[in-house]
Structure 1
Amino acid sequence: MIRQLVVVLIALALFAAPPPRDVAPSIITVGPNVQVSVSMPLIMHSEGVIAADPTDARRLLVCSLIHEPAIGKGVVAYLSQDGGRQWDRKFATGPDDNAGDPACAYGPDGTAYVMFIPLSGRKSGLPVFRSSDGGRTWTGTGATGYLDRETILVDGTSGPYHGRVYVHGTTDVRSTEGIRRSTIALYASTDGGRTFGPRVERASLGRHYIFASANSVVLSDGRWITAFAEFKEFWEDAESDRVHMTFAPPPEPAYVWLRAIASDDGGTSLTDPITIAEWHAPNGYARYSPAIPSLAADTKSSLFRDRIYVVWPDTRLGGTDVLFSYSTDRGRTWSRPIVINDDRRRPPPAVPPNHLLASVGVNDAGVVAVTWLDRRDVPDRLAWRARIRVSVDGGETFQPSVLLSEAPARFDGTEHWSATSSTAGGGSSLFRGGLLQSQVFAPGHLYMPGDYAAVAADRDGVFHPYWIDNRTGWHQVWTAAVSVAEKAVKNGADDLAGLDDLTPSTTLDRVSANDDRRTQTTTMTVRLRNAGNKRINGPFKIRLISVESDVGNVEVAGASNGLTGPGAVWDVTSYVDGGYLDPGSASRAFTFVFRLHDVRPFAQGHTDRFTSIVVRFFSRVLGRAAK
């Protein structure tokens, strides 16, 4: 776990700072919105994936779920050969192939892959389709056993398993007594997806249950890793398959673990899983926000090589927020989660929004991008607009978000969808007996457009997000080319890149604290102390990583670089006599100043505990270590 300097002024908190009121021009440039599914404009689309060809920055592949009245559900794939400006449909399941859960990927040689679940024969296995010409033509090549929420990945690193194809998801096993339990399962192929080795899996035993997995990533040394969700008390008891509870009603407790699992031998075995975080997983039926995480790994940049990033939806603060964490040690430990969505939290009786479908990606320059469908300022609490935030310091801080979508989704009575129908009772096979019950209903993906999305980075570093909205009246696939004007930089800024991290050998000695309720100003006066055994030298700068409050939105006042949120820097060199600190010595006293906005009573927004933090912030101390 990355060690961070923690300064606690008074108790527990919101995870993220509000967006600065005055910010510098964004480093993010969003290109025109492009309708990927324009060739199927009257067909409802939902969940899907976008992939970038590592051999050609102009080539992108999208696979998407469609809702077609004649066949139910199907899967299509669209290809762009001009960087996402134009798209052509190149793959589609047939009229007899009721299909779901689309997955697609590129291999390091430009070979493209598409998979889906054949819903009409779900236990017969999952077919793999392969395209040796980058996605123009397709051939069925192989298959895996049955998986739910399957994803496909090809190792594009220079590690020992280069070119290996991995397919993973969740499935079930039964004990000798017939008791059903869930597993996280992985298949590996050494011949480009033509054949797959035996399934390797880990079962969730006792009362636990695995219900969703993220996409997977491969690190530079060949380690394969994914994240998954595991209910703590799904079954009534450890010896039965009677369900105790699936998704809890709001306010959801921490009833799920977000966990990670890896393979270090090319898919022959799986490691013991580790817990990333306790998870207040959203009830999708109540919040229209699905509970599936997303994963990315930096395998190319020099600064943050093999850093892993994960995002997931969480309801611990009242609404559904996008949480983010990272690992610097190949997935063994994870940073403290922060909130990515940067909408200002309103005081009661305002109800916080339920954001959804977060995805994370990273480009070869080490820039991290998180996208999601954002419901801030949406009166009906159903519509959304796509947004993006980026980080240039390995996920420690993020730039303010910008809009991706040029128009919002809308639910004003003019929207269209593919109606679904069913019959039960009587002599039908479903709930046989009694009166015949027939019904026509809207698809489940109307207000929650799928269970997952994605954002890909091409070889030139441009991000290409996948999102759904219905601005045309129908749920359609959209994307845009997103350029970031900076690359990853140590300590988040060029003027800080030459400084060392002194956090492990320093501390702050508290002098005094004050909270002025009249001006809503909170201060803390401290001294910087050298807690190590070697001299440290200036300049001494304290960089804010995150700031929180349990009673309002909090901003920094008086930072040396003018920022009011994460990334703010206090230059405290002038408080250090002689410009250095010997072991045990301390600076003269200096004061941190914070201002609160939208102040509310304590214990607002938390669903699981009572606390009373006015301000808490996490920071790093930068300077020059002894040589």
Structure 2
Amino acid sequence: MGAFDRMVPRRAFAGVPVSVLSWLMARNLPLTATPARRAEDRVPGNIRVTDDVFAACIEPAIAVNPVDPRNLLAVCRVFVGPDIGVAAYTSFDGGDTWRARGLLPGLVPDFDGNPSVAFDSRGRAFLCCVVATQGPLRHGDVLMWRTDDGGRGFRPSTTAIAGGPGLVDHPSLTIGTGSRPAATHLYLAAGVYGTADDGVVVARSTDGGRTFQPPRGLDPAAGARAIAPVTAAGPNGSLTVAYVTPSPSGDVLLKAVTSGDHGETFTEPFTLAEVPAMAPGLGDVTAKSGPALAASADGGLICAVVTGFDDATGMSRLLLTTSAGPAALAPTWSGPMTVAAGDETVYLQPQVAIADDNRIAISVYSLSLATLRMDVLLHISDPVRAAPAQPAFGPPLRVTTQAFDPRRAIDTGSTHWLGNYQGMAAAPGHVFHPIWTDTRTGRAQLFTAAVRRHRP
């Protein structure tokens, strides 16, 4: 995603706030901190997920067991000396307490990461990540694990997408169901680079993740310029894959393809939104942004989210586009609506989830340019009765009980790396579980919260 991120002029996170203040004053922007909480906000407690032997934890993914919604499974990248592995964490009380499960079985840390996790309708969880080697000729495959007991133990891994001489990057896992549990399909979107067929691909499993069919390219014309795929499935064969590519003018296009027949055929790629850039460069802090995607359980609502940053104005935006399902085609998508915008804040790394009453929740990092501190905000809509639509959002809820300094993220020697995405999941009963990387302890660790919103 680095090719699409632009540096903010005269602003750097080198530990000297005066550079930021001078940039703000040059643009006559107000120097304000994160707004105080409103009395009517239901502020969730922050729960620390990770507190074990690893030097840092970044890039989390989280899933809720539909058979037992108190069972949450989280997975993330972990730093083991100079190497990076992937570890799992479980909760069986709705996220109030967490237990470390260690590195994924058989995984030897090297340059692994980009985990993704999903439960099927039977309560089985599937977890995948990139297993990659370091060095100038980096290559890696996507491996898949399965757990039948909520994350207490995992079956041996299988190869879902082989990179061969190249690298498989940014896998995104989703699970779709038909009218019978036996109709469960697993879909895995990813980017493949360093091969003759670079670009965004999707691979499908029809046997419970034991094997995956060969990956198929979704946008050959974009090739290796297509990156950061995300995917979401609804019932009875509906599937959407979104990703970003550069436009001829140098802007960033959020594009998508859809399928209504379990991934047998796909639409031609179409554009959902166009932004100048997804995020500014942040000097010696790396916190890039990508798109997010979610589908409702009944397939009647699909949401795509992306951040946009305009270098000319300093304006940062959080954008949402929605579609009717289950086999959504390009004409049914709404134009992107602005959920939040400001020139005092930079929005980064959005995630989206849909509750069982069709409330849309969007979590996002909010970086104050005045204080250089980050918060996690949660924007929750009213129930969406029809799509495509322009959902109504109230004021955001500040989820973090304490803002944190991203400059305290893990120091890799070339950057302070906060990770390139965060996670969120929805649970029955209108509960959202954002999970994020946070440095309030002095090092990058994972925190989460259970945010409950009741029916009106």
State the TM bucket, normalised to the shorter chain: 0.7 to 0.9
Alpha-carbon distance in structure 2 between the residues aligned to 1:408 and 1:291: 19
Partner residue in 1 for 2:173: 152
Alpha carbons of structure 1 residues 319 and 120: separation in structure 2 relative to 1, 3 Å = same
Deviation at 1:283, TM superposition (A): 5.1
Deviation at 1:43, TM superposition (A): 2.0
SS state of the match for residue 125, structure 1? strand
Partner residue in 1 for 2:381: 391
Partner residue in 2 for 1:220: 235
Partner residue in 1 for 2:80: 68
Partner residue in 2 for 1:475: 444
Alpha-carbon distance in structure 1 between the residues aligned to 2:190 and 2:392: 31
Deviation at 1:223, TM superposition (A): 1.0
Deviation at 1:123, TM superposition (A): 4.2
CA contact (8 A) 1:170 1:212 kept: yes
Cα deviations by residue, 1:491-544 (Å, 9 ceiling, x for unpaired): xxxxxxxxxxxxxxxxxxxxxxxxxxxxxxxxxxxxxxxxxxxxxxxxxxxxxx
SS state of the match for residue 42, structure 2? strand
Partner residue in 2 for 1:603: none
Amino acid corresponding to residue 229 of structure 1 in structure 2 = V
Cα deviations by residue, 1:12-64 (Å, 9 ceiling, x for unpaired): xxxxxxxxx9x9975x6342100000234x62111121111111110001111
Deviation at 1:403, TM superposition (A): 0.8
Partner residue in 1 for 2:201: 185
Cα deviations by residue, 1:566-597 (Å, 9 ceiling, x for unpaired): xxxxxxxxxxxxxxxxxxxxxxxxxxxxxxxx
Partner residue in 1 for 2:288: 290
Alpha-carbon distance in structure 1 between the residues aligned to 2:186 and 2:88: 19
Amino acid corresponding to residue 85 of structure 1 in structure 2 = D
- Find the partner of 2:351 among 330, 346, 359: 359
Partner residue in 1 for 2:151: 135
Deviation at 1:160, TM superposition (A): 9.4
Deviation at 1:159, TM superposition (A): 7.5
SS state of the match for residue 213, structure 2? coil
Amino acid corresponding to residue 87 of structure 2 in structure 1 = V
Alpha-carbon distance in structure 1 between the residues aligned to 2:85 and 2:170: 15
Amino acid corresponding to residue 455 of structure 2 in structure 1 = E
Alpha-carbon distance in structure 1 between the residues aligned to 2:344 and 2:180: 45
> Which ranges of structure 1 fall in alignment gaps of 5 or more residues?
1-20, 175-179, 234-252, 346-350, 421-440, 488-627
CA contact (8 A) 1:463 1:483 kept: yes
SS state of the match for residue 227, structure 2? strand
SS state of the match for residue 195, structure 1? coil
Q: Structure 2 matches for 1:17-416, cutoff 5 A?
A: 26=40, 29-40=42-53, 43-70=55-82, 72-93=83-104, 94-120=107-133, 123=139, 125-145=141-161, 146=163, 147-156=168-177, 158=179, 162-172=183-193, 182-205=198-221, 209-214=225-230, 216-233=231-248, 255-282=251-278, 284-286=280-282, 289-300=287-298, 306-316=300-310, 318-328=314-324, 330-333=328-331, 334-341=333-340, 345=342, 352-376=344-368, 378-381=369-372, 383-394=373-384, 396-410=391-405, 415=408
Alpha-carbon distance in structure 1 between the residues aligned to 2:406 and 2:259: 44
Deviation at 1:476, TM superposition (A): 0.8
Amino acid corresponding to residue 142 of structure 1 in structure 2 = T
CA contact (8 A) 2:279 2:307 kept: no
Alpha carbons of structure 1 residues 368 and 67: separation in structure 2 relative to 1, 3 Å = same
Alpha carbons of structure 1 residues 230 and 473: separation in structure 2 relative to 1, 3 Å = same
Amino acid corresponding to residue 274 of structure 2 in structure 1 = E
Amino acid corresponding to residue 379 of structure 1 in structure 2 = A
Normalised by the length of structure 1, the TM-score is: 0.59
CA contact (8 A) 2:177 2:234 kept: no
Cα deviations by residue, 1:229-267 (Å, 9 ceiling, x for unpaired): 01234xxxxxxxxxxxxxxxxxxx762211111223323
Alpha-carbon distance in structure 2 between the residues aligned to 1:182 and 1:416: 32
Structural RMSD (CA):
2.8
Alpha-carbon distance in structure 2 between the residues aligned to 1:280 and 1:161: 44
Deviation at 1:411, TM superposition (A): 5.8
Aligned length, in residue pairs: 399
Alpha-carbon distance in structure 1 between the residues aligned to 2:222 and 2:206: 34
Cα deviations by residue, 1:41-93 (Å, 9 ceiling, x for unpaired): x62111121111111110001111122324x2111110000000111112414
> Which ranges of structure 2 fall in alignment gaps of 5 or more residues?
1-34, 385-389
CA contact (8 A) 1:219 1:297 kept: yes
Amino acid corresponding to residue 360 of structure 1 in structure 2 = V
Cα deviations by residue, 1:439-498 (Å, 9 ceiling, x for unpaired): xx25451xxx211122111123211001111111011101011000226xxxxxxxxxxx
CA contact (8 A) 2:320 2:337 kept: yes
Deviation at 1:208, TM superposition (A): 7.7
Amino acid corresponding to residue 79 of structure 1 in structure 2 = T
Identity %: 25
Deviation at 1:133, TM superposition (A): 1.1
